[in-house]
C-alpha cells in the first residue's frame, strides 16, 4: 500500500510538472531560457519537483535493497508542509484568479489539489513522533525563505513576479514585506501543527 501510494505520488507529480512546462513553452513568447527560469520561479513547480524527486528516490532505494520504504520522518514532514502550503494558498488566494480549461485544468488540479492530498495521506499513514521536534521547524524555513529572496531579487531586475501577492510593481514593496511576513507565519503555524499532530497517539515501537 505504501509503495503503491509513493509510486502514484512520484508519477503524478512528475507528469504534472513536465506537462505544465510543455504548456508554458507552448504559450510563451519569451526565449526558452527565460521561460525556463520563470517556470522554476513558481513555488508550486519547485515543490512539486521536490516531491517527484523525493518519492522517486524512496521507491528506487526500496526496490534496490528489496525492503520496505525507509525515510527520515523530519524530511518527509518538511516536504508535506511545503506541498500542503502549495495547496492551501492556491485554494484560498489563487483559485479565483483564473479559470483553466482542458489539459491545463487537469494539470492545475494535479499540482495544487491531487498531489498535496496524496502526500498528506502518505504522511498520515506514516505518522509517528519518531525524533520529530519543534526545533526542526527552523531548518524547514530555509527553503521558503531562500525562495522568497531569490524571487524578489530577480523580480527587481526582470520585473517578473510569479505571484500577485509578491508583485512589488503592483502592490508596492511595503505590502510585499507584509505579505511575506504573513506567509512566513503561515509556514510556522502549519509546521507547528504537523509536529503537534505527529505526537498524538504515536505508534509504539515493536
The answer to whether the beta carbons of residues 12 and 43 sit under 8 Å apart is no
Q: Could you tell me the three cell numbers for 97?
A: 484568479
Set of cell numbers at residue 40: 522554476
Alpha-carbon distance of 186 to 86, in angstroms, equals 12
Distance between CA atoms of residues 40 and 21, nearest Å: 9
Specify the pLDDT at position 120. Answer: 97
Q: Where are the alpha helices (DSSP H) in the chain?
A: 2-27, 32-39, 43-65, 73-89, 102-109, 115-125, 136-140, 142-158, 168-171, 173-198
pLDDT digits (tens, 9 = 90+) for 93-112: 888 888 889 999 999 999 99
67 versus 107: which is more confidently predicted? 107
pLDDT reported for residue 72: 86
pTM: 0.92
Write the DSSP symbol of residue 203: P
Degrees, nearest 5: CA angle 149-169-99: 90
Residues in Cβ contact with 107 at an 8 Å cutoff, skipping those fewer than 6 apart = 16, 19, 20, 23, 100
DSSP state, 178? H
Does 184 or 64 have the greater pLDDT score? 184
pLDDT in tens, 19-41: 999 999 999 999 999 999 999 99
Contact 128, 202 (CB under 8 A): yes
For residues 20 and 107, is the Cβ–Cβ distance under 8 A? yes
Compute the mean pLDDT over every residue in the chain, rounded to the nearest whole number.
Answer: 92
Q: Identify the band that residue 192 occupies on the pLDDT scale cut at 50, 70 and 90.
A: very high
Give the position of cell 531560457.
33
Note the pLDDT of residue 138.
Answer: 95
Cα gap 77→33, rounded to integer Å = 33
Q: Taking the alpha carbons of 149, 151, 156, 157 in that order, is the dihedral positive or negative?
A: positive
Amino acid at each position: 500500500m505504501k509503495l503503491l501510494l509513493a509510486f502514484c505520488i512520484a508519477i503524478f507529480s512528475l507528469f504534472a510538472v513536465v506537462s505544465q512546462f510543455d504548456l508554458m513553452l507552448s504559450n510563451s513568447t519569451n526565449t526558452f531560457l527565460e521561460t525556463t527560469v520563470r517556470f522554476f520561479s513558481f513555488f508550486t513547480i519547485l515543490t512539486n519537483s521536490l516531491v517527484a524527486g523525493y518519492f522517486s528516490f524512496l521507491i528506487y532505494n526500496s526496490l534496490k535493497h528489496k525492503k520496505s520504504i525507509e525515510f527520515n520522518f523530519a524530511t518527509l514532514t518538511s516536504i508535506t508542509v511545503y506541498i500542503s502550503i502549495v495547496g492551501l494558498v492556491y485554494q484560498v488566494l489563487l483559485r479565483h484568479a483564473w479559470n483553466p480549461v482542458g489539459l491545463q485544468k487537469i494539470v492545475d488540479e494535479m499540482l495544487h489539489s491531487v498531489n498535496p492530498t496524496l502526500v498528506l495521506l502518505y504522511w498520515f499513514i506514516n505518522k509517528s513522533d519518531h525524533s520529530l521536534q519543534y526545533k526542526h521547524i527552523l531548518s524547514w524555513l530555509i527553503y521558503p525563505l531562500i525562495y522568497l529572496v531569490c524571487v524578489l531579487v530577480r523580480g527587481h531586475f526582470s520585473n517578473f513576479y510569479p505571484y500577485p501577492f509578491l508583485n512589488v510593481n503592483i502592490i508596492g514593496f511595503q505590502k510585499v514585506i507584509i505579505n511575506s511576513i504573513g506567509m512566513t507565519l503561515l509556514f510556522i503555524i502549519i509546521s507547528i501543527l504537523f509536529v503537534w499532530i505527529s505526537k498524538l497517539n504515536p505508534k509504539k515501537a515493536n
